[in-house]
Structure 1
Amino acid sequence: MATVAPDVSRSTERCLTFEDALSMAKFGAFNVVLMAISGAILTAFLLETIGISYVIAVAGCDLQLSTSDKGILSAVGFLGVIVSSHLWGFLADTQGRRKVIVPTLFLTFAITIVSSLMTNFWMLTVCRFMAGFFISGSSATIYAYLGEFHNQQNGSRAIMGASFVFGLGCILLPAIAFAVINQEWELPIVPLGVVYRPWRLFLVVCSVPGLISAFVLLWFPESPKFILMQGDVDQTIKTIQWVHRFNRGRKVEPLAIDSILAETEAQQSKARRAELQNMKGIGALAKLVWNQTAPLFMGSFLKKTAIVCFLQFGTYLTSHGTYMFFPSILDQVFKAQETGEERFSVCELVYDRANTTNTETDTDDECVVQTLDVTLYEMSFILEVIYAAGFAIIGLIINVVGRLSILVFVFGGCGIAGLLIIFVEIPMVSVWCYMILVMCGFAGSIVSAITVDLFPTNLRAMAVCMSSMFGRLGGVIGSNLFGLLLESQCELTFAIPGILLITCGLLSFFIPNIHQRMRSKDSISSRC
């Protein structure tokens, strides 16, 4: 009799939907580890692209950087992301999520090592472009990879959990900068003609989280959802069983899963896979890429694509564009306070500093070691702690209060803070308004979570990468916008992102199904 019960149980669960099969693996250690690795990859992206803001503040003499050069270096990493986003989205949707994430992380580390040895502006610019090119593949694809190991009930929470880890990881940026950049040692590397200074080591240290994540993912399987879309039901079941053993221990009884119901998307994916195998020539490849991309801008997907792309554009234009000048502006504020000034607006300070700089002449060709005010590191640390706490809170309440409420609060609050910077004349209040403006980055992860749910599996990675591309485009425009307007039209520099964020808050009301809270497990399973 003991052998009959399992057979009966197995027969009642012979054909399961993917959602039901994935739910049987439960939420456990694997999910936590995957969220941690995903957060580390997102951290690697931030360190690779935003970390340059600390470098340009102290490496100006080493590399003979002009103000325009600093603007280019601030934006070139995002330019690499923009150029490559479409490619990585196509490869992730056709070849696999993991096959994109792991190699690009290793390549990013390699190119960062090379960039730390560059001796002039243009060589460093090319290397930072390539670093952005490669890190884009892992940072955007990881959202789809993470989301597809979770059912609809836990998907958004998992992505916000990874964002919480990302928030913790962001604390590394000011911590690494404080520990490395402000030192005064140097190491001549005569064969390469390089004087290795702390800012060069800073670049290498910033790439370590990505390297560690790549090694860990070597032991992880491909996304089960992607495998199912390729028509390989047996391998999908093996992957879910692997997750189950990771969560419950190797001695646990295998899940009673004999088969998983095929989905419409799997049939479409099978047709695309056959087309890919028969593909010959660049023209055929271009056609396949077009067929993978065009649906995002057709029919019911057009509205979804337009909204998420605009929201990411506004988010990154503000968060990345303003953060690139965060160290230098706060450094000016704190140094002005040290001279006894008590009331001044940020723009008054910027104009005064610009006039002072324009009247100075360079009479000394010798490089002087540059350091940043310690208070800057303290405020940067506080900002990153708030980011970490904010992601944790959002992860806890997102299924309770809904995504719309959080998006409107973030976009509206940050937009108002951006406008207040123009008028406030109390330095510390201005600093906090600036920090709140930068915090609009909270919205980026929420919009990515929404994007994962809005699009089917066969278009999901492409949709995330496409919205990411528009977001990075916003980052490039924001960085150059600040560089071009800050010293001549400071008020306009802060008014543009402030108004843009408020517009994003209003546009959030038009996201399809945004008013619906997360449904119960039963209703989610029945939908599949």
Structure 2
Amino acid sequence: MALSDKDKTVEIFTVEDEKYDKSDAIHFSDALEKTGFGIFNYSIILLGGVVMTCTLYETASVGFILPIAECDLNLTNRDKGILSTIGYVGIIVSSHMWGFLADTKGRRAVILPSLFMGCAVSIFSSFSPRFWLLIVLKFTNGFFISASYATFFVYIGEFHIDRTRTGAIMAASCIFSVGAMLLPVVGWGVINQNWSLPLPFLGIVYKPWRLLILVCACPGILAVIILLFLPESPKFLLSIGKKEEAIKVIKKMYRWNRKSGDLQINDIIPEKDTTVQNLSEPSINTSSSLLKAFLNTLWKQTVPLFQKNLLLSTVLICNIQFWMYVTIHGMFMWYPFITDIMVNAMSSNSTSNATRICDAVHANQLKLVTEEDHHCVEQLQDKTFIYSVTMEFCFFVGFIIIGLLDRKVQKNCILFSLLFVFGVCGVLTNFIYNATVALIVFNMFFLSGAGIQVLSGITIELYPTHLRGMAVCISMMFGRLGGVAGANAAGFLLPYNCELTFYIAGAGLIASAFSTFLIPKVTHSEKMVS
């Protein structure tokens, strides 16, 4: 296929278009198999865990910051809603572009610079003197971190064979869970301190909540350092016709894992889902021609996802991703707020064992309306952080279990179980009057987020190499839309109709659970060249 004779040309070749000497060539999956599983794979897995941790810290930390920064920045409820979701808006706006660049320029080529820029912007936002500037910087931060999170799933998947791919993603998710468990610990250690540092040249008083923003940029810096030592995806290199470079990467994997000898490979046969693209430079250098070429190529990368053979899969994956993010990112923005209210209600009420979550939320809203002087929150209750650590530990255990089940149970069944069971927990939250049990079920509700990694594994297997990055990024874009919708809907509904918030989110997860059985199942034999 070609855009035009004048613009950038994109030629597509299938595996069948190229002839291979069967006696001298080796299938791509077999080549990966020969590299073994060792230090290189562990490094990729570590990178994945740190990248996911970076994304979580940059987005979820806002939930801990909002109650504390309210008075410093003179935040209204509307301002809180904007600040809690503006990072997701940046992610949504950039997702399509990053997916295109990941499929045309490379996985590593996208992750490395975007991580660096995201960290730099986050550091600057820590010193923001005005609310509007913090909004701009958080939007920009979301714009950049969108690339690393979505592209990572493709990057780690393409260094592993079918048998180890989901296990590798789940192992990275376990590292992510450890990082997630540390977030409330870090939040407790940083936010709940009584100190301030006047910075008159910036017109601000530097307080612990600002330091938390700075600390949350550290995982991104670590990810950049790790990625400097890792190569581009060999499968992507094959897809753009750079066979020699792909062979070098595979040999590097072999040396890292085996520690001795060299892998003898003269030729590689790509998997059947690998479409070889030949990208030539545009012959006209005007900005209009470059823009036209970019948009035309972007269109050609996107349209196949919504054509007949992939349309149903794309719609289902985007819908499931949307509802998972409504919960794990949208409603989670209010997790510290709700948990802190419940902990306060339990400590101040002698009949604390008869407190529903929504009753506590309504009581808090009534208190705010009737009080003349609004009390500024300087610290969060210690138990709020304890409940958060407990939930993240459950994520850690869950990822281990999913990794062990992957070889024995189909991913669709695992995803169904996660969405259905924890969706039911969301609905049951409205019917539990024991405060302790209610908080436990409330925490279980968010464990549906473990399905994001499972769904990403399904997506990687379902789409061909040249569309894989775009598919993951578009599904994540719909997920972030769910995060924005969930955070704003919860902020609007919780004070006035708290129960409806949990009914909608729970029902969305349950409906998504049943739709998982409509997603096609891909077997290993379908990916290989006959």
Q: TM-score, normalised by structure 1?
A: 0.92
What is the alpha-carbon distance in structure 2 between the residues aligned to residue 379 and residue 346 of structure 1?
A: 14
Q: Which residue of 1 aligns with 2:303?
A: 294
Deviations 1:6-53 (A, max 9, x none): xxxxx9862011111111111111101110111110110010011100
Secondary structure class of the residue paired with 2:198? strand
Q: What is the identity, as a one-letter code, of the residue corresponding to 1:436?
A: M
Name which of 352, 356, 378 aligns with 2:363.
Answer: 352
Q: Which residue of 2 aligns with 1:282?
A: 291
Name which of 367, 380, 384 aligns with 2:388.
Answer: 380
Closer, same or farther in 2 for the Cα pair 1:504/1:198, shift >3 Å?
same
Deviations 1:61-108 (A, max 9, x none): 001011111111111111111000001001110001001101011101
Secondary structure class of the residue paired with 1:27? coil
1:419 and 2:424 matched: no
Secondary structure class of the residue paired with 1:260? strand
1:181 and 2:187 matched: no
**1:261, distance to aligned residue in structure 2 (A):** 2.0
**1:360, distance to aligned residue in structure 2 (A):** 1.6
What is the alpha-carbon distance in structure 1 between the residues aligned to residue 281 and residue 162 of structure 2?
A: 30
Contact 1:17-1:525 within 8 A present in 2 as well: no
Q: What is the identity, as a one-letter code, of the residue corresponding to 2:247?
A: I
Alignment of 1:236-275 (within 5 A): 236-249=246-259, 252-262=260-270, 268-270=276-278, 273-274=279-280
Q: Which residue of 1 aligns with 2:6?
A: none
What is the alpha-carbon distance in structure 2 between the residues aligned to residue 276 and residue 189 of structure 1?
A: 50
Q: What is the identity, as a one-letter code, of the residue corresponding to 1:336?
A: A
Q: Which residue of 1 aligns with 2:10?
A: none
Deviations 1:94-152 (A, max 9, x none): 00100110101110111011111112221111111111110001010011110011112
**1:524, distance to aligned residue in structure 2 (A):** 7.3
Name which of 152, 156, 164 aligns with 2:166.
Answer: 156
Deviations 1:381-437 (A, max 9, x none): 111111111111111111212212211211111111111111111101110111011
Q: What is the identity, as a one-letter code, of the residue corresponding to 1:19?
A: S
Deviations 1:259-285 (A, max 9, x none): 112566666412xx1376778331222
Deviations 1:484-507 (A, max 9, x none): 111111111110011000001100
Gaps of 5+ in 2: 1-20
What is the alpha-carbon distance in structure 2 between the residues aligned to residue 363 and residue 78 of structure 1?
A: 29
Contact 1:14-1:256 within 8 A present in 2 as well: no
1:481 and 2:492 matched: no
Q: Which residue of 2 aligns with 1:438?
A: 446
Q: Which residue of 2 aligns with 1:333?
A: 342
**1:362, distance to aligned residue in structure 2 (A):** 3.0
Q: Which residue of 2 aligns with 1:8?
A: none
Q: Which residue of 2 aligns with 1:194?
A: 204
1:103 and 2:122 matched: no
Q: Which residue of 2 aligns with 1:63?
A: 73
Count of aligned pairs: 505
Alignment of 1:121-132 (within 5 A): 121-132=131-142
Name which of 114, 118, 125 aligns with 2:128.
Answer: 118
Secondary structure class of the residue paired with 2:205? strand
1:316 and 2:325 matched: yes
The two structures, once aligned, show a CA RMSD in angstroms of 1.8
Secondary structure class of the residue paired with 1:122? helix
Contact 1:56-1:70 within 8 A present in 2 as well: yes
Secondary structure class of the residue paired with 1:192? coil
Name which of 61, 65, 70 aligns with 1:51.
Answer: 61
1:84 and 2:62 matched: no
Secondary structure class of the residue paired with 1:325? helix
Closer, same or farther in 2 for the Cα pair 1:20/1:335, shift >3 Å?
same
Name which of structure 1's ranges 305-314 and 276-285 shifts more when overlaid on structure 2.
Answer: 276-285
Q: What is the identity, as a one-letter code, of the residue corresponding to 2:506?
A: G
What is the alpha-carbon distance in structure 2 between the residues aligned to residue 527 and residue 153 of structure 1?
A: 18
Closer, same or farther in 2 for the Cα pair 1:277/1:13, shift >3 Å?
farther
What is the alpha-carbon distance in structure 1 between the residues aligned to residue 527 and residue 93 of structure 2?
A: 38
Contact 1:13-1:257 within 8 A present in 2 as well: no
What is the alpha-carbon distance in structure 2 between the residues aligned to residue 223 and residue 285 of structure 1?
A: 23
Gaps of 5+ in 1: 1-10
Q: Which residue of 1 aligns with 2:372?
A: 361
Closer, same or farther in 2 for the Cα pair 1:171/1:112, shift >3 Å?
same
What is the alpha-carbon distance in structure 2 between the residues aligned to residue 335 and residue 32 of structure 1?
A: 43
Contact 2:108-2:232 within 8 A present in 1 as well: yes
Q: Which residue of 1 aligns with 2:33?
A: 23
Q: TM-score, normalised by structure 2?
A: 0.92
Q: Which residue of 2 aligns with 1:3?
A: none
Contact 1:30-1:243 within 8 A present in 2 as well: yes
